[in-house]
A and B are shown apart, each in its own frame.
Chain A
């Protein structure tokens, strides 16, 4: 354990020196600022206004941007170091593979989560200045959803980064995963439903296995506990799980998937050739 925090610290320092981190931070912070400047918080959509309205649009943006940002910035973490021989040098010191792998993951988690969380805090500060009602419960739960979504994609990215030798292939794989999961939020599922080839239960299950969809439903629950915006499927979900367990599932399930992928990556890292 003695080097785990050292590796995490060094990974954070390295990320803070990278251009991608600033682009990432500016995108999320800038978007939040843009929402206020453009008056999103003053608009009313489906009864939502103020900070709730702004968070609704922030969630929509997060669904699209956060996974791909985490995937493309993290997927090169180990594969890139391997390709450039940085891994060879750093691991020629007496550092255990456990400390190196989990230290890298811890560092990267802090790096990818912090800008999104700060963007959210920025929204809270804007909201406080604006003088509107502060939906604290919603902000707390949304932060948890952000943690779990960041974690699942971090786990997937680390797994991918470990099993492939080339960072180009890792990057390609990351895009395929992102597009597939994004397609299975709506488009692909609706296609399957229209074709009537699969049982509806299977389609709902597929949707609920997709971490992006799970995040989306969890986030919608914050604003619309009856899930009226997602149509008849809401009755199935709420009847099966109930709103509290649906929220628990939305937070816990992505973390479990993230841990699973992270462990698969760690196993490959330990058992395969390192270079």
Chain B
């Protein structure tokens, strides 16, 4: 069974079709770079996969589950890093408690993963998340996503806030991901992740215009 099965997914916003009969299959071990200009439908597709958007026609299954009707089941096996770290007002301690309790991810694993990117979580536990620097926030979100044992990792421009050293550390961590875990990178910079992906999907105007194995 495919990990992600998207068939003829269609979605419009205010009369504009942002997903136009999109069909994609993702299997375990797929390392996908999803590219395309702004407004191509990449983020909309990811949001539909995560149960944020209700598609008008077609179907989406993640791990065999419907993201709208069985969102908890879907999200148990998906890790997501947004493009921009959201201004979460919780302290790091509270955020980690939320992650631990909701997804069963161990705090120690997150702290260890963050330490590998030179982020000291212990020293900032009482600090509100939104008061961290952009790079620190992104590193913590990466640490959380990588510590949560998922079948699918979704990264929406994950290195946008990282300095060159941070990027290097992040790419190093990605090389250690289980070979059966699928990853989906939404990116504008293929050159940076070329060595990490084995498939390239390009979208434009809500359609898949290219889907090639590398």
In the complex, how many angstroms separate the beta carbon of A98 from the nearest chain B beta carbon? 10
- Pick out which of these stretches binds chain A: B72-80, B112-120, B157-165, B199-207: B72-80
- Pair B87/A86 contact, Cβ less than 8 Å: yes
What residue in chain A is nearest B104 (Cβ atoms)? A94
Of the candidate stretches A11-19, A119-127, A227-235, A242-250, the one touching chain B is A11-19
In the complex, A97 has a CB within 8 A of chain B: yes
CA distance A18 to B90 in the complex (A): 11
Whether A128 is near chain B, meaning CB under 8 Å from some CB there, is no
Residues A64-99 near B (CB distance < 8 A): 84-86, 88-97
20 residue pairs A–B, Cβ–Cβ below 8 Å: A6-B97, A10-B94, A10-B98, A84-B86, A84-B87, A85-B84, A86-B87, A86-B89, A88-B82, A88-B86, A90-B98, A92-B80, A93-B75, A94-B103, A95-B75, A96-B72, A271-B54, A272-B54, A273-B52, A274-B52
Whether a CB of chain A sits under 8 angstroms from the CB of B41 is: no
Q: How far is the CB of A59 from chain B (nearest CB, A)?
A: 33
| Contact flag A17-B52 (CB < 8 Å), given A6-B98, A84-B86, A95-B102 | no
What residues on A are CB-neighbors of B72 within 8 Å? 94-96
Cβ–Cβ < 8 Å partners of B71 in chain A: 94, 96-97
The verdict on A89 contacting B88 (CB below 8 Å), with A6-B101, A17-B128, A95-B102 known, is yes
A17 cross-chain contacts in B, Cβ below 8 A: 89, 91, 128
CA distance A271 to B51 in the complex (A): 11
A91 to B51, CA, bound (A): 9
Given the complex of chains A and B, what is the CA–CA distance between A89 and B142 in angstroms? 12
Residues from chain B with Cβ under 8 Å of A3 in the complex: 101-102
Residues A92 and B75 in contact, CB atoms below 8 Å apart:
yes
Contacts of B51 in A (CB 8 A): 91, 274
The verdict on A275 contacting chain B, using a C-beta distance below 8 Å, is yes
A residues contacting B by CB (< 8 A) are 2-3, 6, 10, 13-14, 17-18, 84-86, 88-97, 271-275
Contact with B102, one of A6, A88, A97, A271 (Cβ below 8 angstroms): A6
Contacts A91-B52, A93-B102, A97-B71 known; 19 new A-B pairs at CB < 8 A: A6-B98, A6-B102, A13-B90, A13-B94, A17-B89, A17-B91, A17-B128, A86-B87, A88-B82, A89-B80, A89-B86, A92-B50, A92-B82, A93-B98, A94-B102, A272-B54, A273-B54, A274-B51, A275-B53
**From B76, B84, B89, B128, contact of A94 by CB (8 A):** B76
B99 is an interface residue with CB less than 8 A from chain A: yes
Assuming the contacts A3-B102, A6-B102, A95-B102, asked whether A275 and B52 have C-beta atoms less than 8 A apart, the reply is yes
Q: What's the least CB distance linking A242 to chain B, in Å?
A: 48
CB contacts (< 8 Å) of B102 on chain A: these are 3, 6, 93-95
Interface residues of B in 29-88 (CB under 8 A from A): 47, 50-54, 71-73, 75-76, 78, 80, 82, 84, 86-88
* Residues of B with C-beta under 8 A to A274: 51-53
Smallest CB separation, B103 vs chain A (Å)? 5
Contacts of A90 in B (CB 8 A): 88, 98
State A92–B78 Cα separation when bound (angstroms).
8
Q: Which residue of A lies closest to B80 (CB)?
A: A92
Mark contacts of B127-161 with chain A using CB atoms, 8 A cut-off: 1 yes-contact digit, 0 otherwise.
01000000000000100000000000000000000
Complex Cα distance, B38 from A143, in Å, reads: 54
Question: Top 5 nearest A-B pairs by Cβ distance?
Answer: A92-B80, A94-B75, A85-B86, A86-B86, A93-B102
Cα–Cα, bound, A275→B128 (Å): 24
- CB B32 to nearest CB in A, in angstroms, measures 18
